[in-house]
Structure 1
Amino acid sequence: MKKYHYIFAGSGLSALMTVYQMVLSGKFKEKKILLLDADSKKNNDRTWCFWEKPNGDYEHLVYKKWNTALFSDINFTRDLHLSPYQYKMIQGLDFYNPIFEVISNEQNIEFLSQKITHFTEENDGVLVETETEKYSCDKLFNSILNPQEIVAQKEYPYLQQHFIGWKIKTKEPVFDSEKATFMDFSVTQKGNTRFMYVLPFSKTEALVEYTLFSKELLPEKEYENEIRDYFKKLGITNYELIEKEQGAIPMTCYPFWKKNTKNVVNIGSAGGWTKASTGYTFRNASKKSKELIAFLLTENDFRKFHKKTRFWFYDLLLLDILDRKNHIGSQIFSSMFRKGNPALIFKFLDEETSFIEDIRVISKCPKIPFLQALVKRIRI
C-alpha cells in the first residue's frame, strides 16, 4: 500500500487550486502528493465566472472579460458599470490544461484516474480506498460532496443554483460583446427565483443560460424551452448550437467545517467554499486555497481551519427567505441593484466590505422579509 503525505479526494477546482498554490509556494517539494479522481478532466465541462479587479492570480487563463453588465427585471433595465472590477470568464479546459501541466512537472505529485469508494481516519493518518487500490496518507483533502448529509438536516436550508446553458453562434449580429447580462429577471418567475444569464463573446457568439435559485431541479426540456423563448425575445431565429453545459451548485450555510477532523479537511463545495447566497465559487476557492496553504505551514490540526464571519449570517438570512418564499428572489436582487452602487455590491458579495458598507448595501433590500428571517433565527 502506497503512503503519501497528502491525498486529494477529487480533483475539481478547489483541489487543483490548492495543489497549484502548493507548487507556487515552493514549500511542499518534499511532500508526496496524490490526486484521485475518476474524471481525468479532459473535457470542457464547465465555465467559471467571477468579478475581480484587473491582473488577478488567474488572469492568464481568462477567456473573456467585461467592464459592463446588464441587470433587468420586468420593471427596469440598468447597465452596471463595474469599475474597478471586471466580470471575467474562464473555460474548463483553459483552467485544467495549464494547471495539470504545472503539476505534471513536479516529481512529488501524482494524478490517478480512480474512483474513491471510502476513506477512514486512523490515529496516525487516513486510509483511502478506491475501486481498485488502497492508499494511506497523513492528511486528506476531501472535495466529494454528500448532498444527503445536508438534505437530512432541517436547521440550514439547502437550495441549488441550477442551470442549462447553450453556447450558440447566430447568423446575424445580435449581441453586445462588451456587455454581459448578469441577471435578467424579466422571464416568468413561476413561483421561483429565475433569470437569464448571457455571456457574449462576439456579436454573433454567446453562452445563454437559464438559471434558478430553488430547491428542485426541472426537467431538461423546461430549461431549454425557456432558452428558446428568450431567443425569440432577442430576435434570434437562425443559430447554430455549438455546446451545452448544465450544473447544480449547492447554496447552503450548512456548517461543513464541523465535519473537519485532525487529519481530514473538507474543501470546495464539500467544505462550504461556494458562496452560499450566489452560488459563485471561483473567487472564494481562490481565497480559501491560499488560506489553507498558509495554515498548513503553521498548523497540524484541520479542526482549527475555519473562521465564521458576519457574511455567513447574512447569507443564512437570505437563504432562509428564499427557502420559504422563493418567489421574492427577483424582488430582493432588483431592489439591491436598482439604485445601489455596483462596485460596492460586488465588494460586499466578495465579503470585503466594512460593516458600514454592509449597511449601505443591505439597506437597499426589502426590510420586512429580512427582519422576519432575523427574528426567526434569533428564536432558534
Structure 2
Amino acid sequence: MEAGDLAVPEKADIAIAGGGLSGALIAYRLRLTRPEVTVALVEQGPSLGGNHTWSFHASDVSAATYKWLSNLVRHKWPRQAVIFPKFHRVLETSYCSITSSRLHDIVAPLVDEGLALNADIAEVAPDRIRLRDGAVIKANAVIDARGARTSDRLVLGFQKFVGQELEFVAPHGLDAPVIMDASVPQEDGYRFLYVLPFTERIALVEDTRYADGAALDREALRRGISDYCAVRGWKISKVIREEDGVLPIALAGDIDAFLDEGVEGVAPAGMRAALFHPLTGYSLPDAAGLAERIADQDDLSGPALARFAVRHAASVWRNRSFYRLLSRMLFSAAAPDQRYKVLQRFYGLPRSLIERFYAGQTHFGDQARILAGKPPVPVSRALGCLGEEKYLNRALAARATTQAQGG
C-alpha cells in the first residue's frame, strides 16, 4: 500500500516505524500468534527489508524459534567452512539465510492493509507516526524499528561490506557457505571474503572489512570480489544484484544514556535498541527474540510496551560485556593487519563453544577457554582494553578533543 493511499486501520493497536528485519519480524510474529491485534507497518522503501541477506546459524535460535522462522528461510546448508592462513576448517553447524525478497513476499500479505510502503516518516510519537506528506497513522502503541542511529553514547567499530550475487560460467564447486575466508590480503582492518552458494553456478560473494571508520569504498570492495573470484577460477558471466552495508561492532557504551536518547513512550527495536551481537554484528537472532517477547506480552499498551522494550535492550546489552571486551581487543589491541589472528585462534576452539558464542550464550568456562594461553595480541595493549567504563571515558574524551580541534 502506497503512503499516499493509506488503508491502515483508523487507529491500530500497534504501529511499527520501519519495515526492515526487526520491524517485519515483529509484525510477522504478531500476525501469526495474535491475529486479534491490528498492526500498521510503515516502511519508507518500496518493499520490506530493502536489499539485504540476513544469515544465522541454526544453533543461534531455539527449535521453537526456528519453526516459525523456517518459512522465511530461503537457503539452508548442513555445514559451513572457514579459511585462515593456518588452516581450513569445516564445521557441521547448519547455516541459514533469509533474503529481503522472501521476507517481503511472506510478511506483506499477512500485514495486508496495515502495510504502508514508500512512506517517508517525519516523526514518531507514543500514539502516532506522522509522514512528511501530512498523513498520520494513529496507534495505541508505537515501535521504532528504523535502523541504527548515531550516538555519542556508544563506541563502535564497523563491519563494512559489498556483496554481489554472481552467476558463473561454470560450477563454483562449493557445497557449503564459506563464512570467513581470511586467506586474502589484509586491507582496511580485518578482511575476509564471505560466500553463500545458492546454486551450482550462483553465489553471493561479499568482501567484508572490520574497520575503524565507516566510510565504504564500494569500488575497492568490488575489485576485491573480482580478484577473489579470479583467484578461485570462477569466471563471472553476470552480476545478478548487489548489496552493501556498514554494521556496528560494539566496543563500549552507556546503554541507559543511549536508550534515553530515544523518543519517550516509544518502544525501540532492532538496531535502534542496539540489539545485535557486539562482535559478529549478526542481528537476526535478536530480532526474532524480540518479536517473540513482544507477541507474548499481556499488556500491549504504549507505555507498557515501551518500558518492556527499553528494559529488554538494557538487559541484553549488560549480559554481553564479554563480547564487547573481545571487540575492544580486536580493534584496539591488534594491529589492523593482524586482527585476523584473533579470529584464527578463535576458530581453532571446539565447535560447541563457537556455536554458543554466536548464539550469545558463552558461559564462564567458555570465556576462560577463549582467553587462555598466549594472546594473539600484545599483552600491554590487551590490558588497556579491560574496564569498559574507563575505555568509554577515554574514547569519549578523545572524541571531544578531536571535535574541538575541528577534526
TM-score past 0.5 threshold: yes
Q: Map of 1:343-362 to 2, 5 A cutoff?
A: 343-362=352-371
Q: Deviations over 1:254-288 (max 9, x none)?
A: 42434456620111111112222111111221012
Q: Map of 1:193-232 to 2, 5 A cutoff?
A: 193-214=190-211, 215-232=213-230
Q: Map of 1:73-88 to 2, 5 A cutoff?
A: 73-82=84-93, 86-88=94-96
Give the whole-Å Cα distance in 1 for the aligned partners of 2:166 and 2:57: 23
Cα contact 1:7–1:139 (8 A) shared by 2? yes
Deviation at 1:173, TM superposition (A): 2.3
Q: Deviations over 1:280-326 (max 9, x none)?
A: 11122101211222345378152343214554212322332344346
Which residue does 1:321 correspond to in 2?
Answer: 329
Aligned: 1:117 with 2:129: no
**Scaled by the length of structure 2, what TM-score is found?**
0.80
Give the whole-Å Cα distance in 2 for the aligned partners of 1:289 and 1:358: 29
Instruction: Could you tell me which runs of 5 or more consecutive residues in structure 1 were left unpaired when the two chains were aligned.
Output: none
Aligned: 1:10 with 2:18: yes
Which of 281, 296, 313 aligns to 2:283? It is 281
Give the whole-Å Cα distance in 1 for the aligned partners of 2:201 and 2:41: 39
CA spacing shift, 1:292–1:259, aligned 2, 3 Å: farther
Q: Map of 1:356-375 to 2, 5 A cutoff?
A: 356-363=365-372, 366=376, 368=379, 370-375=382-387
- 1:342 counterpart letter in structure 2: R
Give the whole-Å Cα distance in 2 for the aligned partners of 1:110 and 1:184: 40
Q: Which has the higher helix share?
A: 2
Deviation at 1:334, TM superposition (A): 0.8
- 1:312 counterpart letter in structure 2: R
SS in 2 for 1:351: coil
Which of 131, 134, 139 aligns to 1:132? It is 134
CA spacing shift, 1:110–1:60, aligned 2, 3 Å: closer
Give the whole-Å Cα distance in 2 for the aligned partners of 1:311 and 1:277: 14
Which residue does 1:34 correspond to in 2?
Answer: 40
Aligned: 1:180 with 2:182: no
Which residue does 1:302 correspond to in 2?
Answer: 306
The number of aligned residues is 363
Instruction: Could you tell me which runs of 5 or more consecutive residues in structure 2 were left unpaired when the two chains were aligned.
Output: 1-8, 394-407
- 1:207 counterpart letter in structure 2: L
Cα contact 1:195–1:211 (8 A) shared by 2? yes
CA spacing shift, 1:376–1:141, aligned 2, 3 Å: closer
**Scaled by the length of structure 1, what TM-score is found?**
0.85
Which of 327, 330, 336 aligns to 2:340? It is 330
CA spacing shift, 1:363–1:68, aligned 2, 3 Å: farther
- 1:57 counterpart letter in structure 2: W
Give the whole-Å Cα distance in 2 for the aligned partners of 1:272 and 1:288: 12
RMSD: 2.8
Give the whole-Å Cα distance in 2 for the aligned partners of 1:61 and 1:195: 27
- 1:372 counterpart letter in structure 2: G
- 2:244 counterpart letter in structure 1: Q
Give the whole-Å Cα distance in 1 for the aligned partners of 2:134 and 2:240: 37
Give the whole-Å Cα distance in 2 for the aligned partners of 1:130 and 1:220: 31
CA spacing shift, 1:315–1:115, aligned 2, 3 Å: same
Deviation at 1:340, TM superposition (A): 0.7
Cα contact 2:121–2:129 (8 A) shared by 1? no
